[in-house]
């Protein structure tokens, strides 16, 4: 059963019901994204994964199969003795697979050299994990509109 989402975008040109995929190793972060993004980004189509290293391996293909419009990746995906993975490596895979949507890194590491690394891998926008989700969502919306709805303005 689909629920109508109360949309809170300030950008009239931001499309509703985009497909968004998120990966984060924190179950709390996944729950927060799953609960908040539908309202903040005007969509009922949010998938959050990252509870295991298998999710990391499957993420790029899931994104492509799901025809995602926006991906939001944590940079450090840590599974203890089961391995450590980087969101920037997943970004490289997505770019190599021809992903054409908006790529956002949401990380606790947002110093200038970190952001430059993410951008070199193919990330379009970086938001800090300490940035409130409402503000982060506005940043994502603005970048999406500039890149896809008003090309040439970015």
Closest CA to 73 of 35, 42, 118, 117: 118
Q: Is residue 1 situated within a structural domain? A: no
Closest CA to 91 of 117, 54, 130, 52: 117
Residues contacting residue 73 through CB under 8 Å, at least 6 positions apart: 22, 23, 24, 87, 90, 91, 103, 104, 105, 106
- Per residue in 98-152, pLDDT (tens digit) is 999 999 999 999 999 999 999 999 999 999 999 999 999 999 999 999 999 876 6
Q: Is residue 58 situated within a structural domain? A: yes
- Per residue in 69-79, pLDDT (tens digit) is 999 999 999 99
Domains contained in the chain, number: 1
Q: Which two tokens stand for residue 89?
A: 């490596």
Q: For the whole model, what pTM was predicted?
A: 0.91
Q: Is residue 65 situated within a structural domain? A: yes
Q: Is residue 90 situated within a structural domain? A: yes
Q: Is residue 143 situated within a structural domain? A: yes
Q: Is residue 6 situated within a structural domain? A: no
Q: Is residue 154 situated within a structural domain? A: no
Which structural domain, as residue segments, surrounds residue 27?
20-147
The answer to whether residue 5 scores a pLDDT higher than 50 is: no
CATH number at 112 reads: 3.40.50.2300
Q: Strand 20-23 vs strand 76-78: parallel, antiparallel, or unpaired?
A: unpaired
Report CA 83 to chain centroid distance, whole Å: 22
């Amino acid at each position: 059963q689909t629920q109508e989402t109360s949309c809170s975008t300030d950008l009239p040109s931001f499309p509703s019901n985009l497909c968004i995929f998120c990966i984060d190793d924190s179950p709390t972060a996944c729950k927060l994204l799953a609960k908040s993004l539908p309202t903040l980004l005007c969509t009922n189509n949010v998938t959050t994964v990252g509870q295991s290293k298998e999710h990391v391996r499957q993420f790029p293909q899931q994104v492509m199969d799901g025809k995602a419009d926006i991906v939001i990746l944590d940079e450090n995906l840590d599974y203890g003795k089961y391995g450590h993975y980087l969101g920037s490596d997943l970004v490289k895979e997505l770019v190599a697979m021809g992903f054409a949507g908006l790529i956002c890194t949401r990380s606790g590491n947002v110093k200038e050299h970190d952001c430059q690394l993410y951008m070199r891998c193919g990330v379009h926008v970086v938001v800090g994990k300490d940035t409130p989700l409402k503000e982060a969502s506005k940043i994502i919306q603005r970048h999406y509109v500039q890149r896809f709805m008003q090309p040439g303005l970015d």
